[in-house]
């Protein structure tokens, strides 16, 4: 059986632009209403660095320009109604300041995994405390136990794992098998232990299983697919949104795409067309039928492994949840609901992990 876990990165645009009510509160409200129709649950991965800046602005200026109170109330209601809220960190926001109508970030802290251990440890501790202080008044049993890094930045892993475990985080969900990036953030998750089966991680490499590890990786479901699988209206919307709110050059990216000559660009595009790429179960960008098909492929692949209940983790972003997107998610929810013997709904904090001594299930 697969436990379907919807995870939502709850944030404004990466370059600091956008209204938090329009990009976070309003789309998430629609998403929660939709999920309530089908009995599905949402795990909101709240970017505490942004939210704390919105609160700071309100406290300093006496104006709730960035809708902190609406955000806080939405997160509380989510917990009250059985959804989940866990930790997401855009580390470049901790030193951000308002400049020309946008949040100008500290680009030197953009790549979370490259930060010094002490800085990383402080960010995780601060974010965890913020969520627990905010949400325990509505649920005294609430615990912040799960984490996702912005831009999936958990490699190199040693300091990340050490800081997460040291702050009582039990689950990371930043890795997607086959994923690779080179530029302002660098990682290669092609050797990740699994595309779906959670694993206790090795202290030195989050992609490697270590049965004595204290942190579990619950990966975002992914497959290797040809480029044609990426041709959906949702991905076009994502690409256009990313282009309009791009930040790579502002952040001093040194990726190949920023410096390659035209001939290199042509060669690289041929390579892109001929290779398979990491295709994430992204409920903003995939069609409903694509998600249904992926769910069944995942079930078939692991039925024979006697794994029991496995988490099928989808990723999405509040800022990309359009009305069109709502229509693509609905058939996937309905299909999952029609097959309760094979599929159920869950959250990260109530995900099913294999039991082992010393590690909570």
Is residue 350 domain-resident?
A: no
Cα–Cα dist 115/350, whole Å: 30
Place of tokens 């998430």: 28
Q: Can you say whether residue 264 is alpha, beta or left, with left for phi > 0 and alpha for psi between -120 and 50 degrees? A: alpha
Is residue 271 domain-resident?
A: yes
**Burial annotation 231-261 (CB, 10 A radius, 16+ → b, else e):** ebebbebbeebeeebebbeebebeeeeeeee
DSSP letters along 260-280, please? Answer: --HHHHHHHHHHHHHS-EEEE
Is residue 263 domain-resident?
A: yes
> How much is the pLDDT for 240?
56
Is residue 87 domain-resident?
A: yes
Is residue 75 domain-resident?
A: yes
Is residue 311 domain-resident?
A: yes
DSSP letters along 3-22, please? Answer: EEEEEEEE---TTS-S-HII
Is residue 154 domain-resident?
A: yes
Is residue 357 domain-resident?
A: no
For 52-96, write each residue's pLDDT tens digit: 999 999 999 999 999 999 999 999 999 999 999 999 999 999 999
Give me the number of domains the chain comprises.
1
Residue of 197, 145, 175, 162 whose CA lies nearest to 348: 145
Residue 326 is inside which H or E element, if any? helix 323-338
- pLDDT by 10s per residue, the chain, length 361: 899 999 999 999 999 999 999 999 999 999 999 999 999 999 999 999 999 999 999 999 999 999 999 999 999 999 999 999 999 999 999 999 999 889 999 999 999 999 999 999 999 999 999 999 999 999 999 999 999 999 999 999 999 999 999 999 999 999 999 999 999 999 999 999 999 999 999 999 999 999 999 999 999 999 997 677 666 665 555 555 655 656 644 444 433 333 333 444 444 544 555 577 889 999 999 999 999 999 999 999 876 554 578 999 999 999 999 999 999 999 999 999 999 999 999 999 987 676 543 333 3
Its domain, for residue 176, covers 2-345
Q: What is the CATH number of the domain that holds 192?
A: 3.20.20.370
């Amino acid at each position: 059986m697969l436990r379907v876990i919807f995870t939502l990165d709850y944030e404004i645009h990466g370059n600091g632009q956008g209204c938090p009510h329009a990009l976070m509160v309003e789309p998430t409200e629609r998403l929660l209403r939709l999920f309530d129709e089908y009995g599905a649950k949402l795990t909101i991965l709240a970017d505490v660095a942004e939210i704390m800046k919105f609160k700071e602005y309100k406290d300093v200026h006496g104006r709730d320009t960035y809708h902190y109170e609406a955000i806080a109330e939405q997160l509380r209601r989510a917990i009250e109604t059985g959804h989940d809220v866990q930790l997401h960190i855009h580390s470049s926001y901790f030193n951000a300041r308002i400049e020309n109508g946008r949040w100008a970030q500290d680009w030197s802290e953009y790549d979370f995994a490259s930060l010094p251990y002490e800085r990383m440890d402080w960010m995780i501790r601060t974010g965890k405390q913020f969520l627990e202080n905010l949400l325990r008044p509505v649920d005294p049993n609430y615990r912040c136990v799960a984490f996702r890094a912005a831009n999936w930045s958990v490699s190199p892993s040693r300091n990340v794992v050490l800081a997460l475990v040291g702050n009582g985080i039990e689950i990371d969900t930043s890795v997607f098998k086959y994923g690779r990036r080179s530029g302002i953030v660098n990682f290669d998750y092609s050797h990740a232990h699994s595309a779906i089966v959670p694993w206790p991680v090795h202290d030195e490499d989050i992609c490697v299983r270590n049965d004595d590890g204290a942190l579990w990786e619950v990966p975002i479901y992914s497959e290797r697919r040809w480029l044609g699988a990426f041709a959906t209206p949702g991905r076009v919307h994502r690409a256009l949104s990313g282009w309009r709110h791009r930040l790579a050059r502002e952040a001093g990216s040194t990726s190949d795409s920023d410096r390659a000559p035209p001939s290199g660009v042509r060669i690289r595009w041929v390579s892109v067309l001929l290779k398979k790429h990491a295709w994430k179960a992204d409920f903003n960008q995939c069609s409903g039928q694509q998600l249904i098909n992926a769910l069944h492929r995942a079930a078939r692949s692991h039925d024979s492994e006697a794994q029991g209940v496995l988490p099928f983790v989808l990723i999405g972003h509040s800022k990309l949840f359009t009305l069109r997107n709502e229509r693509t998610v609905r058939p996937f929810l309905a299909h999952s609901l029609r097959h309760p013997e094979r599929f159920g709904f869950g959250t990260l904090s109530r995900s099913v992990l294999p039991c082992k001594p010393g590690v909570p299930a």
